[in-house]
Amino acid sequence: MSGAPVRARNILVTGADGFLGRGVVAALARRPDTGAVVALDVREVPPERREPGVTYEAQDVRDPALATTLQRHAIDTVVHLASIVTPGRDSNRAFEYDVDVNGTRNVLEACAAQGVRHVVVSSSGAAYGYHADNAPWITEDHPLRGNEAFAYAHHKRLVEEMLAAWRQSHPALAQTVLRIGTILGDRVDNQITALFEKPRLLAIRGSDSPFVFIWDEDVTGALLHALDGAAPGCYNLAGDGALTIHQIAARLGKTTLDLPAGLLRAALFVGSRLGVSRYGPEQLDFLRYRPVLLNTALKEQLGYVPRKTSAEAFDAFVAARQRQGRPVAVAGALAGSGA
């Protein structure tokens, strides 16, 4: 990876009002010896979600005037978080591509035009793709294959290919790329956490469906560590270890509903055709061929050690739901699990 490690001073965060963005901006507002912190989002951030000392601007990452914004605030480092993770029902593939891929291209062009020294990009383990021949543990040397059937995974792959080309053509712009596993936190609600709320967890016969988790505060911690002069590079961001779907069910005190892949594929096909399910048969691969991220480079090269393992992150998520009166586990299920 080209580019010398430098400590960030004037920092702009894209996607600043998203789930990750809010945590990163709050941490930057408390970071010592930081100059300007500019929080950029496509919409105005409400006053109640603003941090003191942070400059908030409403601007689309596709806006050609982004370079002017970087210049106006003398930005030396960009944290690029803007991405469409969970599309709305009115979304479409062309729009998602435009934001994810063309938006990233615009960010890189703006950085190059204004002499930004370092860009930190939130990528995803989804960039490796959901494939039957995925290695049991995936390192940063494994190919990024995405899946065209999944817009998010495919776009992350395309963005990473773009980043790789830019590392060759613009070596003065250092890059830190974090391939993030499944994020859990006190207030995370998404497609994955919805799986754990079912009375019985869906399991595909013959597949362990392993999950690697990362606590949201560890994502913020790794991002801030990257801003403090750590070595640029591409890093898997996940806690130690993994949990299979059956281990997850056991920690929740639940059973699994083990179904054959062929039956599930047929049911998803019919459900999507009838309009009763937003997911098609491709969802089967999302569940059974999950990339399992090895975090050795994160710890040994970036120098960041997650405070929570995958199992600890999951148990903390369950405990948080219980405190909020939204339990996902059967009472007493975590006794003796280390939660």
**pLDDT for residue 276:** 64
pLDDT classification of 175: cutoffs 50, 70, 90: very high
Rounded mean pLDDT, 60-69: 98
**pLDDT for residue 339:** 33
Position 337 pLDDT exceeds 60: no
The Cβ of residue 194 has, within 10 Å, a number of other Cβ atoms equal to 10
Position 222 pLDDT exceeds 50: yes
pLDDT classification of 334: cutoffs 50, 70, 90: low
**pLDDT for residue 278:** 66
Rounded mean pLDDT, 302-316: 98
Of residues 3 and 301, the one with the higher pLDDT is: 301
Rounded mean pLDDT, 71-91: 92
For the record, the structure tokens of 335 come out as: 């006794």
Rounded mean pLDDT, 88-112: 95
Rounded mean pLDDT, 242-255: 96
**pLDDT for residue 41:** 98
Rounded mean pLDDT, 245-267: 91
What share of the chain in percent tops pLDDT 90?
80
Please report the domains of the chain, with CATH numbers, ordered by start residue. Answer: 11-184+214-238+293-306 (3.40.50.720)
pLDDT classification of 199: cutoffs 50, 70, 90: very high
Q: Quote the CA–CA distance of 253 and 329 in Å, as a whole number.
A: 6
pLDDT classification of 152: cutoffs 50, 70, 90: very high
Position 2 pLDDT exceeds 50: no
Of residues 86 and 183, the one with the higher pLDDT is: 183
Position 271 pLDDT exceeds 80: no
What share of the chain in percent tops pLDDT 70?
94
Position 49 pLDDT exceeds 70: yes
pLDDT classification of 13: cutoffs 50, 70, 90: very high
- Distance set, CA 37 to CA 25, 51, 70, 141, 314 (Å): 8, 10, 11, 34, 32
**pLDDT for residue 191:** 84
Of residues 206 and 164, the one with the higher pLDDT is: 164
For the record, the structure tokens of 120 come out as: 């930190």
pLDDT classification of 1: cutoffs 50, 70, 90: very low
What's the whole-model pTM score?
Answer: 0.93
Q: Quote the CA–CA distance of 282 and 146 in Å, as a whole number.
A: 13
Supply the mean pLDDT for the chain: 92
Q: For residues 5 and 229, is the Cβ–Cβ distance under 8 A?
A: yes
Q: For residues 92 and 131, is the Cβ–Cβ distance under 8 A?
A: no
Position 281 pLDDT exceeds 90: no
